[in-house]
Chain A
Amino acid sequence: MGWLSGPVEALLHTALVSELTVIRADGRPITHPLIPLYDGDRILMHSSTLFSKKLEHIKANPRVAVSLSDPVGNKGLTDRATIQGDARVIEDDPHRQWEKLILQLWRAKEPAIDDFLKARVALPLFFERSVIEITPRRCLFWPNGDTSEPPLVTNAPAEVAA
């Protein structure tokens, strides 16, 4: 099981959008709004090869941050959190592998994806996908989303960090 606190896990389970920030080759940050999924241990995201620049950035530098900050996208949850972690891209088979890894979690948040999948013939490249698996290392949490207050900071237990 993961080490993130209950309220942060609630955000991850609920959020329809988060901001994934990765580091470009020139060392600058770049942020991508993405739907976050959570398996109780790792944060899982996914990307079509159509929008694959983030994947290349992660392969070059796996350090990432995930911000959960939008009360609308979080379905009314007002807490905010930023989770720093190490990411890896899983794409042994971009055609099928993501379905085994994340389809169930994705469907729970975005049921319409099943309709899109039925029309895969119309959107073939959209469904060539890579999974981004993020191991949380450090979490900053703002109860009630008040970022004018210092965040509650927790770090991964030593065995996870190792």
Chain B
Amino acid sequence: MKLREGLERIATFPHVVVSWVDDAGYPLSVATSFGADADGVLLDAPALPIPTDRELVVVGSHIHPQPGIGYDERRYVSLWGRAATADDGRLAFTPNRAWGWDEQVMPFFEYSERSVPQSRRYLERLSAERGMLVKPRLAFGWLALRTTRLPFLTATFVPVLLGLAIAARHGAFDIWTALLTLIGASLAHLAINVTNDIFDELSGADAANPNPTQFSGGSRVVYYGLVSMRQLATLAGGLYAAAIIIGLILLAMRPSMALLLIGIAGMLVGYSYTGPPLKLVYRGLGEIAVAIGFGPIMLLGAYAVQTGRVAVEPFVASLPVAILIALILYVNEIPDRRSDAAASKRTLVVRLAPRTVTRIYLVAAVLAFALIVLGVVTGITPWPTLIALAAVPLAMRVHTGIQQHYNSPYALMAVMGTNVKLHLYVGLLLLVGYLAALAVTLLR
């Protein structure tokens, strides 16, 4: 904090606490009233003599009690310097350094994120003192959830379940291969999440991002010291291996060239999202990769497992899902844009002006719903899928939210949450539409 800013801020407090080290070697503090201007602080001399021969720290501190909760509005300013007796008997304090924090200027979560390196250093020193590793911990379930970003699996469930529903409507459904498909696709998704985090940590994107949210900024488990890079790499390898094994089992059960090609394409797109040499997300191609991976690949893959072929209808049905999953990534990149840019991650949001980002969101969301209508109008998809249009208001809320909170990461969290719901609800409503169409088919 600059000295002038410190003086301006300390002038807003009703009193200050002056501290120094007394002759016995203990800190000693006394509160007093004061006045402050751009030149310094005039302290009203308390009865306890404030020394003029040593360094003082003058602190203004404020909280606002919240009964039943605790407190908020935390802010404080510290000024270091020396005092001299003024003509009027008061003490003229001349600071030479200032420090402070105001949670309304820097939110607590950002302050905490900026302090992560301090925690890492402290725990490293503590480990050295003890001669044993002292590291932060989380209960296994929470750690697994955080490391794999488990809640994002809805992005997999939606296209896989849709693909299975369309296959069922086309007369092909086997529960065991359906379950294996869901498990295999989920494992592949988790492997991609973990791989993404490995490359984000290696590129410095985690360290450069002081504003992660529950939807953006990755798992940060390595950055926090919860998990080692080796453990994360082992986990990614294990998840990929498990996904590949399930893919091979499915291929053995349902031999199909289409399924083989879809599986290979899925793995390549998933890895290349952040992995070298393509690093698609670093080139502004992340949205396209995610759209392809969690749209046509997942949906056609699930369909192909059941039918042994690909078809036009599942492809058309995958397009709105693909656009909406890409829009999740797109909106989640908004709060990450500065740290992404610092880590040379040239996402679409990094490349484009805020107004363009917002407009593209609207165009893409409209296109997603237009494709649902077009599918029905052309007779490719069944009319009950029009029920997905019920989610249009969610898209409008997200668009408005982006406009209002573009520069406020924490206010944007609710918008990102609504955007995730948009994808999920559209997917579930499409599924309901397909199940209704299936019921009609079965009843005929």
Q: In which size bucket is the chain B interface?
A: 35 or more
Is A48 on the interface with B (CB-CB < 8 A)? yes
Interchain CB contact under 8 A, B27 and A64 = yes
**Looking at the complex, which of B56-64, B274-282, B352-360, B398-406 is the stretch in contact with chain A?**
B56-64
CB distance B122 to A49 under 8 Å?
Answer: yes
In whole Å, how far is B51's beta carbon from the nearest beta carbon of chain A? Answer: 11
Instruction: Tell whether B261 is near chain A: CB-to-CB under 8 Å.
Output: no
In the complex, the answer to whether B123 meets A111 with C-beta atoms within 8 Å is no
Query: How far apart are A150's CB and chain B's nearest CB, in angstroms?
Result: 4
Considering the chains assembled together, what is the distance between the CA atoms of A31 and B59 in angstroms? 7
Q: Chain A residues near B224: list those with CB within 8 A.
A: 124-125
Asked if B70 is at the interface (CB within 8 A of a chain A CB), the reply is yes
Residue in B25, B31, B116 whose CB lies within 8 Å of A147? B31
> Which B residues from 27 to 74 make CB contacts under 8 A with A?
27-32, 44, 46-48, 55-57, 59, 61-66, 68-71, 74
> In whole angstroms, what is the CA distance A53 to B117 when docked?
12
Query: Of all chain A residues, which has the CB nearest B214?
Result: A122
* Contact-size category for A: 35 or more
Q: Which of A52, A109, A110 contacts B119 (CB 8 A)?
A: A52
Does B134 lie at the interface of the complex (its beta carbon under 8 Å from any beta carbon of A)? yes
14 A-B pairs with C-beta separation under 8 A: A23-B25, A28-B80, A29-B19, A31-B29, A51-B115, A56-B125, A70-B62, A72-B65, A84-B22, A94-B126, A121-B145, A123-B109, A124-B226, A138-B26
Q: How far is the CB of B117 from chain A (nearest CB, A)?
A: 10
Q: Does B86 contact A (CB under 8 A)?
A: no
A70 to B33, CA, bound (A): 12
Q: Interface digits, A56-75 against B, CB 8 Å rule (1 contact, 0 not)?
A: 10000001111101101101
Q: Give the distance to chain B from A83, nearest Cβ to Cβ, in Å.
A: 9
**A33 interface hit (Cβ, 8 Å):** yes
Contact segment of B135-143, B169-177, B314-322, B337-345: B135-143
Q: Which of B31, B48, B136 contacts A124 (CB 8 A)?
A: B136
Bound CA–CA A149/B15 (angstroms):
16
Contact partners of A65 in chain B: CB under 8 A: 19, 26-29
Interchain CA distance A75-B28 in the complex, whole Å: 23
Contact of A30 with B by CB under 8 A: yes
Do the beta carbons of A151 and B21 come within 8 Å of each other? no
**Apart from A19-B17, A66-B29, what are 14 other A-B pairs with CB-CB below 8 Å?**
A16-B71, A22-B27, A23-B27, A29-B19, A50-B118, A64-B27, A65-B26, A69-B31, A73-B71, A111-B68, A111-B69, A140-B28, A145-B31, A148-B44
A121 to B112 Cα, complex, angstroms: 14
Q: Which B residues have a C-beta under 8 Å from some C-beta of A?
A: 15, 17, 19-22, 25-32, 44, 46-48, 55-57, 59, 61-66, 68-71, 74, 76, 78, 80, 109, 112, 115-116, 118-119, 122-123, 125-126, 134, 136-138, 142, 145-146, 214, 224-226
Give Cα A125–Cα B117 distance, bound, in whole angstroms. 11
How many whole Å from A10's CB to the nearest CB in chain B? 16
B78 contacts which chain A residues (CB < 8 A)? 30-31
Asked if B122 and A56 make an inter-chain contact with CB atoms under 8 angstroms apart, the answer reads yes
A82 contacts chain B at the CB level, 8 A cutoff: yes
From A29, A52, A66, A67, contact of B55 by CB (8 A)? A29
Given contacts A82-B30, A112-B69, A124-B136, whether A70 and B112 have CB atoms under 8 Å apart is no
**Residues in B neighbouring A29, C-beta threshold 8 A:** 19-21, 27, 55-57
Q: How far is the CA of A140 from the CA of B32 in the complex (A)?
A: 14
- Interface SS of chain A: mixed
Instruction: Report the Cα distance A72→B47, complex, angstroms.
Output: 23
Interface residue ranges of A18-34 to B (CB < 8 Å): 19, 21-23, 27-31, 33
Determine which of A63, A67, A95 lies in contact with B17 in the assembled complex, contact meaning CB atoms within 8 Å. A67
> Judging by beta carbons under 8 Å apart, are B47 and A49 in contact?
no
| Also in contact, A125 and B59, with CB within 8 A (given A29-B21, A67-B31) | no
Residues from chain B with Cβ under 8 Å of A80 in the complex: 31
A50's contact among B68, B119, B214, by CB below 8 Å, is which?
A: B119
Is A82's CB under 8 angstroms from B28's CB? yes
Task: Give 9 nearest A-B pairs by CB, closest first.
Answer: A110-B70, A69-B31, A67-B29, A21-B27, A65-B27, A52-B122, A147-B46, A50-B115, A121-B142
Question: Would you call A49 and B123 a contact (CB within 8 A)?
Answer: yes
B47:A120 contact, CB within 8 angstroms:
no
Q: Per-residue CB proximity of A108-142 to B under 8 Å, as 1/0?
A: 01111100000011111110100000000110100
The yes or no answer to A55 lying at the interface (CB within 8 A) is yes
Contact B25 A75 (CB under 8 A): no
A72–B116 alpha-carbon span in the complex (Å): 31
The answer, yes or no, to whether A91 is at the interface (CB within 8 Å) is yes
> What CA separation (Å) do A151 and B66 show in the bound complex?
31
In the bound complex, residues from chain B placing their C-beta under 8 Å from that of A8 are: none
Task: Report Cα–Cα, A91/B55, bound state, in Å.
Answer: 31
Q: Which residue of A lies closest to B30 (CB)?
A: A147
Measured between beta carbons, the chain A residues less than 8 angstroms from B62 are 70, 72
For B134, list chain A residues within 8 Å (CB).
94
- Decide yes or no whether A17 CB sits under 8 A from chain B: yes
How far does the alpha carbon of A30 sit from the alpha carbon of B134 in the complex, in Å? Answer: 27
Write out the residue numbers on chain A whose beta carbons fall within 8 Å of the beta carbon of B80. 28
Q: Point out the residues of chain B lying under 8 angstroms from A149, CB to CB.
A: 47
A95 touching B71 by the CB < 8 A rule?
no
A117 to chain B: closest CB distance in Å?
12
**With A and B bound together, what is the CA distance between A123 and B65 in angstroms?**
23
Q: How many angstroms between the C-alpha atoms of A82 and B78 in the bound complex? A: 18
**Shortest distance between the CB of A38 and any CB in chain B (Å):** 17
